[in-house]
Amino acid sequence: MGHPPAPLTRLPPSVARLRRFEGGRRLGPAEPDPRCLWLRLFHSVRIALLLMMAGTASAADLEAGKARAATACAVCHGPVGLSMQPNVPHLAGQPLFYLTEQLRNYRSGKRANEVMSVIAKPLTDAEIDNLALWYSSLQVRVEAP
């Protein structure tokens, strides 16, 4: 069936490790490539640090968004982003990007609404981000009729 595989002049390290298995010189799971081990260790430490930083930052942002929403938005959009008024949309569970965009658009005048344009006008970028983070992180369950 076809040509025999071309002989390898030098075995790649993975094959060399398998060969040691074959000869019974090694038992147990395949040993990881030591070069990869250091890289992987470095990588996981870096990821852990990044996660820790991101985690603390967004927890504070989330709290700030929650507090702001309770005083500035809940009266119309409801305490957990589910509106009780027929002319007010739900905000809970909307995509972060969508909420951020809409608030920026109200603020800039790209989207106009007599209520929301006034409310969004004084919001800073950080306040918009925090509010959007809060509403987007609320979990919504949907049931089909």
Residues that bind ligand HEC (CB under 6 A): 72-73, 75-77, 87-89, 91, 99, 102-103, 113, 115-116, 119, 131
C-beta of 18 vs 119, nearer to ligand HEC: 119
Q: How far apart are CA 121 and CA 117, in angstroms?
A: 6
Quote the least distance from Cβ 89 to ligand HEC, whole Å. Answer: 4
C-beta of 48 vs 84, nearer to ligand HEC: 84
Q: How far apart are CA 96 and CA 141, in angstroms?
A: 17
C-beta of 62 vs 88, nearer to ligand HEC: 88
DSSP H helices, the chain, are 13-22, 34-72, 74-77, 96-108, 116-120, 125-137
Quote the least distance from Cβ 133 to ligand HEC, whole Å. Answer: 11
